[in-house]
Structure 1
């Protein structure tokens, strides 16, 4: 066993006081500092003195720039400052996440399914935000997900990230247990779907308490893991409380062939939202920037009507007692005003004789110098009541036919969550070799639907296979392609584009 190295000496940073060491890494150490102004605790990542070659410096600078671009996202660690210490070591000043990270939890704690779903949706929105900015993370794993003081997951360590442009995706220093097959090939190539795989593998680890292809008590070296990642189907998490639809989402996100995975992190997030809805859990919102359309009268963006249907649970506040003399009167909350759904349509204006009568908010008390100000306050409250009533009515019309929010619900999805059946895998897949050396594979569709088709490909040890679409449940592979042994995988694809999460595999 290699001896644990000592932490490097924390640098003296003007305006910061060193507190303690937080973690040790291959290229950098992380320390807890107390910042003088503004007063707060921060995490400072400092490059090791022996790692100051040009390549490492460039990676460190890239990490600082990329994280700064994404720091506005609530599930990405915020970077406050980047600079060079007096001893020449570059450092990053970052948000200090005080709670245990996912790496500290997943092997020692049985994390609830509901929490894993919440973490998954929030991380999916963080990864999607990075992708929309043209950035691949390339090293998503439990150790790179911290936990904020408020319990939110925070994606960190963009040290080996790359842009999504031409030439991107070459693997550098990735972590094998959470890496997709295409990044383990002789000539690794990856794209957004590679991050989707790693995110799915991370969620699997949270549920299973181990890495996806790890065999407890077995041989789990790099060579064994790579072989399983490339060839073996994803095993079950081993938990009875993990529903089949969640297992199917994990299997699709970690499909061997990138084309069979979710096409984006946002799609994975929506699939996790659907599982939440089917389990009757509060649906976690995807935190993505909306692209608003400027309105005709104002220069700012207009909120989409669909986004206006997002509701938060109403907190009931009891009627306040009159405030003692000399103290400010507390705000009083009245019940919502019911508005007919017909009136909730965008652009509807009620005739004067049909306009709803608002409940009286009381007459303003005549006070010497503050009467005008109090009158303006009452008018503002009345206007707010009208806006609140309209929003509630829009939400009621838009969500008719859906379950009512339950106590404790916090957010509903920004986009409709549809309930779709899981597409099954073909069964009885088998191959028979003919005398000419060709192999004919046949299979059975357990749930045939109109316009079903099939996606199939020859499994390869490295590289990305060529996927072909056929209409019949059979395919013949010529002798020139069959060789001594040939293995294929087959998925069912519906007319709406949904496909089997875990393809069937067979060899002949």
Structure 2
């Protein structure tokens, strides 16, 4: 088991007020600070004093530069500032994402299929944007996807990112979401390795577990690697997940990179196809100056990845105008620096009343006319596919689609404090903690921290849990989050250990 430790001392930063610890890492700690001007909450990532060798400093600097280069994207955490504290430790000032991240959610709740599709398209857009900038993430997983105050997924932790040039040795990757080529004796990888990890993350959101995890079975690092390299991808195991979505995951997580989608954008378009087939609003692609493309008009290098499947419609185009008003409602699509990939689309008036994920820092470029054209083109493609004898329609979704919150975000849920464990004579360890702001309906999401994967989490009503003796050999560490009655939860769980 990885040894856990106390958080390092927060540095004294002029213009910032320390609030609390958000999380601990192998090379850095993350703290919540309140910036004085402009006044806002920010997350500050501080390199550990014992990790100041040249290699770690270089990685830390690389992370700052890469994230700053990509910060314009709505699904990548924004870097505000980077500097060196008075005590010599480098630090990054980042956007504070107050809502529960994907790591806290996917084991604790059954995430609706429409929400997972929306998250998948937005994350795929973020990964594609990084790839177009020549950057591989190399560690995409639920724990590296935070949630902004506006409900957008936000990819973070580019600490082991690399350029898309010649393959380099991979450091610190997370086994449960890593493709076979990164687990080999001589790791190699390219954009398709990120495609695999992206799909593995989407799989986890649907299944409530990592892709090759056996519930109640042997999930050691050695066993996980063996399954990733040789076992077929298990089905998600949910009746509301259509076969078309399972097929997208199967292809994106193929053992050999040549059999996967060639790009993250191809994954995004395949997920959009699933949305269209389920008659859901199609999530826009957030790509720099990407011209809107009608669904069904596949890229020339991967036609099958975006071909529409036929679905049954009640009469020719029946109900298209009124079936789903949201399907043609304008949504803010963030655009960034121009690229040489394609000419910029004609700017349309920005929609009103639909905030983007950063509130006022980004504008919208695609208006209702373009959004409506995309949806109508998608439906037309469906009808054509149906007339040509397409595949059987997928089962109707059982989850109710809930659009992202557009009103004021609720206040952040604090982390428990005073988390400590005591070992009993029988070898079990009892942990207790305190809730700094108790409210009616509060519960606690906790799990034992392990070397591989994410902890298996469970909900309890009291401020104490006991780890049985057979699970508490050696040092035992847990994480705990507060879960409110409205299902909001601590963004960064508290962590504690007992010898």
| TM band (smaller chain) | 0.5 to 0.7
Which residue number corresponds to residue 173 of structure 1? Answer: 172
CA displacement 1:254-281 (0-9 Å, x = unmatched):
0001000000000000000000000111
Matches within 5 A, 1:321-360: none
Distance 1:400 1:81, change over 3 A: closer
- How far has the Cα of 1:289 moved from its partner? 1.2
In 2, the alpha carbon distance for the partners of 1:397 and 1:226 equals 45
Which residue number corresponds to residue 486 of structure 2? Answer: none
CA contact (8 A) 1:274 1:418 kept: no
Matches within 5 A, 1:379-390: none
Matches within 5 A, 1:102-501: 102-166=102-166, 168-290=167-289, 312-313=328-329, 403=379
CA contact (8 A) 1:277 1:417 kept: no
- How far has the Cα of 1:170 moved from its partner? 2.6
In 2, the alpha carbon distance for the partners of 1:85 and 1:212 equals 41
- How far has the Cα of 1:5 moved from its partner? 1.1
CA contact (8 A) 2:328 2:372 kept: no
CA contact (8 A) 2:67 2:78 kept: yes
In 1, the alpha carbon distance for the partners of 2:140 and 2:370 equals 39
Q: For 2:258, what is the secondary structure of its paired residue?
A: helix
- How far has the Cα of 1:162 moved from its partner? 0.2
CA displacement 1:440-492 (0-9 Å, x = unmatched):
xxxxxxxxxxxxxxxxxxxxxxxxxxxxxxxxxxxxxxxxxxxxxxxxxxxxx
- How far has the Cα of 1:392 moved from its partner? 7.7
Relative to the length of structure 2, the TM-score reads 0.61
Q: For 1:29, what is the secondary structure of its paired residue?
A: strand
Aligned pair count reads 324
In 2, the alpha carbon distance for the partners of 1:203 and 1:397 equals 28
CA contact (8 A) 1:273 1:417 kept: no
CA contact (8 A) 2:293 2:374 kept: no
CA contact (8 A) 1:274 1:417 kept: no
Which residue number corresponds to residue 6 of structure 2? Answer: 6
Distance 1:57 1:394, change over 3 A: closer
In 1, the alpha carbon distance for the partners of 2:226 and 2:126 equals 30
Distance 1:154 1:403, change over 3 A: same
In 2, the alpha carbon distance for the partners of 1:243 and 1:67 equals 35
Distance 1:195 1:81, change over 3 A: same
Distance 1:129 1:14, change over 3 A: same
- How far has the Cα of 1:313 moved from its partner? 2.1
Which residue number corresponds to residue 462 of structure 2? Answer: none
CA displacement 1:146-174 (0-9 Å, x = unmatched):
000000000000000000012x3431110
CA contact (8 A) 1:245 1:422 kept: no
Structure 1: unaligned runs, 5 residues or longer: 292-302, 316-390, 405-412, 424-508
In 2, the alpha carbon distance for the partners of 1:6 and 1:49 equals 13
Larger radius of gyration: 1
- How far has the Cα of 1:12 moved from its partner? 0.2
CA contact (8 A) 1:29 1:46 kept: yes
- How far has the Cα of 1:401 moved from its partner? 7.1
Q: For 2:32, what is the secondary structure of its paired residue?
A: strand
Q: For 1:271, what is the secondary structure of its paired residue?
A: helix
In 1, the alpha carbon distance for the partners of 2:44 and 2:261 equals 36
Distance 1:241 1:79, change over 3 A: same
Which residue number corresponds to residue 37 of structure 1? Answer: 37
Which residue number corresponds to residue 89 of structure 1? Answer: 89
Structure 2: unaligned runs, 5 residues or longer: 296-325, 332-366, 393-499
Distance 1:398 1:261, change over 3 A: closer
Which residue number corresponds to residue 68 of structure 2? Answer: 68
Relative to the length of structure 1, the TM-score reads 0.60
CA contact (8 A) 1:82 1:91 kept: yes
Which residue number corresponds to residue 51 of structure 1? Answer: 51
CA displacement 1:393-438 (0-9 Å, x = unmatched):
888888767659xxxxxxxx9xx99889679xxxxxxxxxxxxxxx
CA contact (8 A) 1:270 1:417 kept: no
RMSD in angstroms over aligned alpha carbons? 2.9
CA contact (8 A) 1:79 1:92 kept: yes
Which residue number corresponds to residue 434 of structure 1? Answer: none
Q: For 2:122, what is the secondary structure of its paired residue?
A: helix
Which residue number corresponds to residue 313 of structure 2? Answer: none
CA contact (8 A) 1:145 1:154 kept: yes
In 1, the alpha carbon distance for the partners of 2:254 and 2:90 equals 39
CA contact (8 A) 2:130 2:136 kept: yes
Q: For 1:219, what is the secondary structure of its paired residue?
A: coil
Give the structure, 1 or 2, with the largest relative contact order (CA under 8 Å, sep 6 or more): 2
CA contact (8 A) 1:79 1:93 kept: yes
